[in-house]
Amino acid sequence: MDRLVEGWAHWLAGAGLGDDMLRVSGIITEIGRTPDNALRAAAAPYTGWSGFNYDMGLERARAKGLLIACARQGIRCIGIWPNMLDLFAEVNEVVAIRDLRWVLGHIAVLSREQVSRIRDLGLVVTTHTNRYIYKEGHLLQARHQLPDEDSISPLRWLEEAGVTYSLATDNVPVSLFYPMWQAVSRQSMHTQRAVGESQSISREQAIRAATNAGAYLTMSERDKGAIEVGKLADLAVLTGDPLTVELAALKDIASALTLVGGEVVHQQAGSVLP
């Protein structure tokens, strides 16, 4: 295992291989085979789940060995299921991972103790508010037998703990303004009520989670994430001010004009260049 991972390290370690437009780094694994993996295996060679290999789930001891080998080579690792947090902690007892920015993704339910552990391990968190607030959030209290809804996608707990968390879409709707709206409003598409309202964050915090945190997640904060001298000229002229529009309209904001590297790559019909 060690020799195999050592061979990967030259392009997987750190920020990985690529350029400012596309970069590949790190490795993802799961513990054991899941129903999702079985479905992928049956559907092969269909590539709709190209981000996941059908046999990516490893026996626990083997997964731990892989993660330890990656930690030794400075390769960041990603897990999307809660059971990976315990495994990350076990790896940290062998090789420190705090400065490697390992990732725990798709958070659905986290306790305060788990949030503290995430902070102590230096993990970066990616969210899936489209699913775990907007689409299924109203089901999670009963599904996980929770005393209340505070631990459902607990963005405020993460904020208060100083954990870097990034907003993400994962699937439709694809606009990041939906997760920003979901993080602030906590609204369910089914019940039209707020899910875990105490975990709402401010609009400014949501913007930072979609920009600064995304750059930190991808180890590109020196070049991206904010409009600052010395960073890439990537910016968007929006159809509304996310800090002042009516909350219900936050999700409907779009880009009227988008620049990447200082060049216009998108212009909404009827918009005028500055």
Q: Which residues pair with 27 in a beta bridge?
A: 77
Q: Taking a C-beta distance cutoff of 8 angstroms, is the pair 215, 225 a contact?
A: yes
Q: Would 7 be classed as within a structural domain?
A: yes
The domain tally of the chain equals 1
Residue 274 belongs to some domain of the structure: no
Residue 253 in any domain: the answer is no
**Would residue 30 count as lying in a domain?**
yes
Which CATH number covers residue 129? 3.20.20.140
The answer to whether residue 20 sits within a structural domain is yes
Question: Is 251 part of any domain?
Answer: no
In a domain, 234, yes or no: no
Of 56, 58, 67, residue with least CA distance to 92? 67
CB 28 within 8 A of CB 79: yes
Instruction: For residue 106, give the nearest of 62, 170, 58 by alpha carbon.
Output: 170
Give the global pTM.
0.93
Q: For residue 182, what are the domain limits? A: 2-226
Whether 158 and 200 have beta carbons less than 8 Å apart is answered as: no
pLDDT tens, residue order, the chain (274 aa): 888 999 999 999 999 999 988 999 999 998 987 777 777 767 766 655 555 666 778 999 999 999 999 999 999 999 998 899 999 999 999 999 999 999 999 999 999 999 999 999 999 999 999 999 999 999 999 999 999 999 999 999 999 999 999 999 987 889 999 999 999 999 999 999 999 999 999 999 999 999 999 999 999 999 999 989 999 989 999 999 999 999 999 999 999 999 998 899 999 887 665 5
Of 126, 128, 68, residue with least CA distance to 100 = 68
Tokens of 53: 């290999």
Residues 6+ apart with CB under 8 A from 249: 240
Q: Which residues, including other chains, have CB under 8 Å from residue 171's CB and lie 6 or more apart?
A: 130, 131
Q: Identify the CA nearest to 176 among candidates 211, 132, 125, 221.
A: 211
CA-wise closest residue to 179 among 140, 217, 128: 128
Note the maximum CA span of the chain.
59
The answer as to whether 243 is a domain residue is no
Positive or negative torsion for Cα 205, 182, 23, 235: negative
